[in-house]
């Protein structure tokens, strides 16, 4: 599987990626489906005239094209297994064969280049069976050049084969795609890359740790050529043994132990300790962006364990970290993990366009350390919606009594979590109910068929906690709605959990009855209680409040007389000799 071997003087040295290039279909690692399909096509004599190989970089597209060219033109005969010993096979391996033309689509993408190709197509091969054109990065060819190639590609001469390779098939016109047999090359699995790198290291006489192989495979991200290039960089140091520390130093990432030391304070919500570990990682040679990418991959693996996947789903953790990843998954719930992954992903995206990478990383650490227990909150909300009292909650009271409320809202103390002492205040004897306005939620009518909502409200609102709930509602409101809602004279809750809010003057009730303001009040109640709560607004007038004088709207005659006395109207009547007795009042139109 090697093209050539290095010499002692280094003049003919060939890099690892070229020396260990696959030479047969059996050597294609991770592309067995493509190798099998092409081998059977050759054996059954059903070889097409145009092929399109697509896939990520370094997965074997150009190597497969060369193998296909050798299989079709080998001097030993057409076979799925070329000999790799004849002159033609050797010239194809070196890229110097006159009948196997490799073209770079990025630099030969114009119409003139395609015209030259069309003229050369008519010339028969000099010594091989087929003249084969391998066009790499074919998506770089212009649309005009593609159009010039259409006819030749659809009906080429019998001695011509086209093999296109690209990493972006979406940029190729559909007219070209429809004339080719397409084969998609998949990303190579990390285990296959590790196995191949170990074979290369053994062939080079180098020992390499298993953790170092896994780090190289993870960094390659499915590209065999990238992993071999990284291995080449390590081999150039001249060492006889490669350790995981050598790999982490070369890549600018943190070792697994350093990463674990940074994860622990994040799980424990200790931002100060996390800052210390971040400083230690940077001082050890790790780049901030690389370290954040490592954290993102680590918590991705933790997320897979949290949802119940097995150890085979781990992509970014070393075998020595499997137990640690499982323990972190038990401590953090899935909702918290989703939030952590989202924070790290957003920070990584911002770091690519910012010069303050360390500051952004520290912000991400602080945000993670100050995350609430999102899974506990989700469980509590689920219990409230289902009407089940949360664990440790006081049993709801079955009595109903109005609770007197302070006019000025005061925020609840952050140091005290105990509910307020139960108290019952009767309505003021000096107040007499004048008007009752009921606008409760229509879906919360007092009917036996709606026991679920009533039970939930009864659990959430009791005479013991209604004042505290109202304070939270006021704190969530703002502006005029809060000012007027805070002036309620009293609030109470009945046995069904229905909230009653009483106002001393009708003006405040009018403010809260407006649709927009009422919607804000309903939303605040729902947010605080965790479910929709029906409520009733009521107005009452105090006995010592003087009645407001009743004013009637002026009649049309009075309005006409008032208008006639205005100076402008008098002046107009004098100028136009108008008759005041014929003056008529026309009210303004509602459409204007």
CB count within 10 Å of CB 76 equals 13
Domain spans in the chain, listed from the N-terminal domain onward = 31-185, 256-371, 403-407+425-542, 554-592
Which H or E run includes 537?
strand 535-542
String of DSSP letters for 4-51: ----TTSTT---HHHHT---SGGG-TT-HHHHHHHHHHHHTT---SEE
Name the band, by pLDDT with cuts 50, 70 and 90, for residue 512.
low
Q: Which two tokens stand for residue 167?
A: 């990493």
Report which of residues 405 and 293 the model is more confident about.
293
For residues 73 and 132, give the distance between their C-alpha atoms in angstroms, rounded to a whole number: 9
In this prediction, what percent of the chain has a pLDDT beyond 70? 74
Nearest to 32 by CA among 241, 185, 149: 185
Helix, strand, coil % in the chain, rounded to nearest 5: 50, 10, 40
50-55 and 181-185: which strand pairing? parallel
Would the pLDDT of 386 be above 50?
A: yes
For residues 59 and 64, give the distance between their C-alpha atoms in angstroms, rounded to a whole number: 10
Would the pLDDT of 405 be above 80?
A: no
490-493 and 499-503: which strand pairing? antiparallel
Mean confidence (pLDDT) of the chain: 78
Tens digit of pLDDT for each residue in 466-485?
777 778 887 777 666 676 67
The pLDDT value given to residue 28: 92
| Helix-then-strand count for the chain, H and E | 25, 12
For residues 472 and 391, give the distance between their C-alpha atoms in angstroms, rounded to a whole number: 21
- Between the CA of residue 277 and those of 262, 282, 355, what are the distances in Å? 5, 9, 21
Q: Which two tokens stand for residue 471?
A: 């304070």
Which residue in this structure is represented by tokens 């081998």? 39
For residues 286 and 40, give the distance between their C-alpha atoms in angstroms, rounded to a whole number: 49
Nearest to 384 by CA among 458, 495, 445: 458
Which residue in this structure is represented by tokens 């007499």? 432
For residues 384 and 372, give the distance between their C-alpha atoms in angstroms, rounded to a whole number: 18
The CATH code belonging to domain 256-371 is: 1.20.272.10
Q: Which two tokens stand for residue 537?
A: 């607004």
Name the band, by pLDDT with cuts 50, 70 and 90, for residue 380.
low
The pLDDT value given to residue 22: 92
Report which of residues 525 and 155 the model is more confident about.
155
The pLDDT value given to residue 373: 65
For residues 325 and 304, give the distance between their C-alpha atoms in angstroms, rounded to a whole number: 10
The pLDDT value given to residue 392: 46
Nearest to 371 by CA among 401, 331, 427: 331
Asked if residues 539 and 437 have their Cβ atoms less than 8 Å apart, the reply is yes
The CATH code belonging to domain 31-185 is: 3.40.50.300
Tens digit of pLDDT for each residue in 303-316?
999 888 888 888 88
Tens digit of pLDDT for each residue in 45-96?
999 999 999 999 999 999 999 999 999 999 988 889 999 889 999 999 888 8
The pLDDT value given to residue 394: 41
Q: Which residues of 150-183 are buried (b: 16+ CB within 10 A; e: fewer)?
A: eebbeebeebbbbbbbbbebeebeeebeebbeeb
The pLDDT value given to residue 524: 81
Name the band, by pLDDT with cuts 50, 70 and 90, for residue 513.
low
End-to-end Cα, the chain, rounded Å = 89
The pLDDT value given to residue 378: 60
Residues 6+ away with beta carbon under 8 Å from 260: 321, 324
**Are 256-371 and 403-407+425-542 the same fold in CATH?**
no
The pLDDT value given to residue 138: 93
Residues in the chain, how many? 592
For residues 101 and 240, give the distance between their C-alpha atoms in angstroms, rounded to a whole number: 40
Tens digit of pLDDT for each residue in 335-364?
889 999 999 999 999 999 988 999 999 999
- Between the CA of residue 183 and those of 92, 157, 209, 217, what are the distances in Å? 22, 23, 35, 24
For residues 169 and 185, give the distance between their C-alpha atoms in angstroms, rounded to a whole number: 12
Would the pLDDT of 107 be above 80?
A: yes
**232 burial level (CB within 10 Å; 0-12, 13-18, 19+):** middle
490-493 and 431-436: which strand pairing? unpaired
Would the pLDDT of 397 be above 70?
A: no
The CATH code belonging to domain 403-407+425-542 is: 3.30.300.180
Strand, helix or coil for residue 208: strand
- Between the CA of residue 21 and those of 60, 146, 228, 410, 492, what are the distances in Å? 9, 30, 10, 75, 82
């Amino acid at each position: 599987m090697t093209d050539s071997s290095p010499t002692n003087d280094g003049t003919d040295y060939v890099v690892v990626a070229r020396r260990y290039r696959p030479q047969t279909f059996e050597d294609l690692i991770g592309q067995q489906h493509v190798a099998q399909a092409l081998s059977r096509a050759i054996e059954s004599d059903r070889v097409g005239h145009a092929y399109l190989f697509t896939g990520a970089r370094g997965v074997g597209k150009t190597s497969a094209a060369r193998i296909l060219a050798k299989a079709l033109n080998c001097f030993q005969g057409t076979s799925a297994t070329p000999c790799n010993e004849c002159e033609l096979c050797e010239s194809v391996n070196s890229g110097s064969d006159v009948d196997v033309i490799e073209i770079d689509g990025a630099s030969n993408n114009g119409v003139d280049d395609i015209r030259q190709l069309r003229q050369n197509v008519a010339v028969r091969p000099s010594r091989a069976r087929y003249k084969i054109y391998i066009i790499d990065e074919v998506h770089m060819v212009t649309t005009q050049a593609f159009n010039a190639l259409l006819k030749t590609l659809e009906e080429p001469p019998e001695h011509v084969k086209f093999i296109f390779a690209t990493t972006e098939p979406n940029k190729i016109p559909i007219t070209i795609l429809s004339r080719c047999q397409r084969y998609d090359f998949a990303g190579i699995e990390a285990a296959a890359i590790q196995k191949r790198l170990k074979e290369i290291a053994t062939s080079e006489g180098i020992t390499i740790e298993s953790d170092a192989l896994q780090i190289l495979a993870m960094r390659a991200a499915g590209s065999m050529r990238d992993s071999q290039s990284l291995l080449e960089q390590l081999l150039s140091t001249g060492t006889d043994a490669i350790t995981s520390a050598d790999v982490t130093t070369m890549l600018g990432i943190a070792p697994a132990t350093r990463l674990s030391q940074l994860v622990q304070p994040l799980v424990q919500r200790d931002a100060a300790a996390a800052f210390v570990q971040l400083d230690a990682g940077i001082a050890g040679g790790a780049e901030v962006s690389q370290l954040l990418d490592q954290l993102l991959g680590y918590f991705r693996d933790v997320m897979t364990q949290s949802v119940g996947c097995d150890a085979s789903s781990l992509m970014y953790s070393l075998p020595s970290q499997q137990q640690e990843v499982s323990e972190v998954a038990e401590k953090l719930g899935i909702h918290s993990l989703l939030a952590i992954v989202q924070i790290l992903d957003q920070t990584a995206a911002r770091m690519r366009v910012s010069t303050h990478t360390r500051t952004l990383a520290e912000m991400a650490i602080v945000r993670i350390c100050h995350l609430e227990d999102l899974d506990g909150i989700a469980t509590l909300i689920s219990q409230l919606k289902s009407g089940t009292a949360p664990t440790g909650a006081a049993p709801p009271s079955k009595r109903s009594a109005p609770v007197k409320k302070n006019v000025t809202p005061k925020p609840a103390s952050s140091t005290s979590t105990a509910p307020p002492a139960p108290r019952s205040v009767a309505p003021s004897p000096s107040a007499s109910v004048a008007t009752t306005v009921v606008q409760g939620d229509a879906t919360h009518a007092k009917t036996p068929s709606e026991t679920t909502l009533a039970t939930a409200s009864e659990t959430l609102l009791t005479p013991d906690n209604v004042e505290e709930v109202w304070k939270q509602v006021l704190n969530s409101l703002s502006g005029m709605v809060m000012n007027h809602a805070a002036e309620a004279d009293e609030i109470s809750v009945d046995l069904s959990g229905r909230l009653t809010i009483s106002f001393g003057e009708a003006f405040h009730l009018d403010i809260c009855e407006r649709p927009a303001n009422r919607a804000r009040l309903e939303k605040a109640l729902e947010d605080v209680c965790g479910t929709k709560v029906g409520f009733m607004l009521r107005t009452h007038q105090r006995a010592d409040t003087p009645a407001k004088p009743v004013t009637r709207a002026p009649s049309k005659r009075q309005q006409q007389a008032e208008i006639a006395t205005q100076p402008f109207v008098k002046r107009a009547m004098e100028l136009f000799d108008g008759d005041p007795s014929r003056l008529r009042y026309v009210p303004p139109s509602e459409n204007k």
